């Protein structure tokens, strides 16, 4: 018997409230929880839900080993989001401050995909059906 496991990725960012607003605007995510602000004025965690997936954002705290992509010199993880219209999703991300790293195009492996770096340094593969 396998255990029931839930995975909740946590993205480390400088400003969790700003990141939450970006993911709500760019990905249509819904904020489902926000911890009260700590001594530094930032919440320790904000939980978001986009479609059937949930993820969290937390502030960078170097003494805890919580480092943002800016602290690391880049993102150590690729986040993949599958959507019906990757072009529209990529456009929303760039309209809200994301940067295209690899253009969204039809790929030889039968998907339309590309990569966008969000304003916080995290890399997203945006993928969906061919156009």
Query: Exposure of 52 by Cβ count < 10 A (0-12 exposed, 13-18 middle, 19+ buried)?
Result: exposed
Instruction: Tell me the per-residue pLDDT of 106-115, one tens digit each, with 9 for 90 and over.
Output: 999 999 999 9
Q: Please check whether residue 125 is in contact with residue 79, taking contact to mean a CB–CB distance below 8 angstroms.
A: yes
CA 85 centroid distance within chain? 17
Residue 112 — φ and ψ, nearest 5°?
Answer: -100, 120
How many percent of the chain have pLDDT more than 70?
A: 99
Q: Which two tokens stand for residue 59?
A: 């502030």
Distance CA 52, CA 49 (A): 7
pLDDT over 80 (residue 99): yes
Q: Which two tokens stand for residue 129?
A: 């059906």
Instruction: Tell me the per-residue pLDDT of 7-24, one tens digit each, with 9 for 90 and over.
Output: 899 999 999 999 999 999
Domain ranges within the chain, ordered by starting residue: 10-128
Q: Note the CATH architecture for domain 10-128.
A: Roll (3.10)
pTM of the model: 0.92
Residue 121's closest CA among 47, 64, 57? 57
Q: Are strands 46-50 and 10-13 parallel, antiparallel or unpaired?
A: unpaired
Q: State whether residue 27 is helix, strand or coil.
A: helix
Q: Please check whether residue 68 is in contact with residue 13, taking contact to mean a CB–CB distance below 8 angstroms.
A: yes
């Amino acid at each position: 018997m396998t255990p029931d496991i839930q995975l909740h990725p946590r993205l480390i960012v400088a400003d969790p409230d700003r990141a939450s607003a970006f993911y709500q605007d760019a990905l249509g995510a819904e904020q489902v929880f926000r911890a009260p602000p700590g001594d530094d004025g930032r919440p320790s965690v904000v939980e978001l839900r986009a479609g059937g997936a949930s993820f969290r954002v937390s502030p960078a705290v170097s003494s805890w080993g919580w480092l943002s992509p800016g602290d690391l010199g880049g993102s150590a993880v690729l986040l993949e989001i599958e959507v019906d219209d990757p072009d529209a999703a990529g456009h929303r991300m760039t309209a809200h401050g994301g940067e295209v790293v690899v253009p969204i195009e039809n790929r030889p492996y039968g998907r339309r995909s590309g990569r966008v770096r969000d304003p916080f340094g995290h890399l997203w593969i945006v993928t969906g059906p061919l156009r």
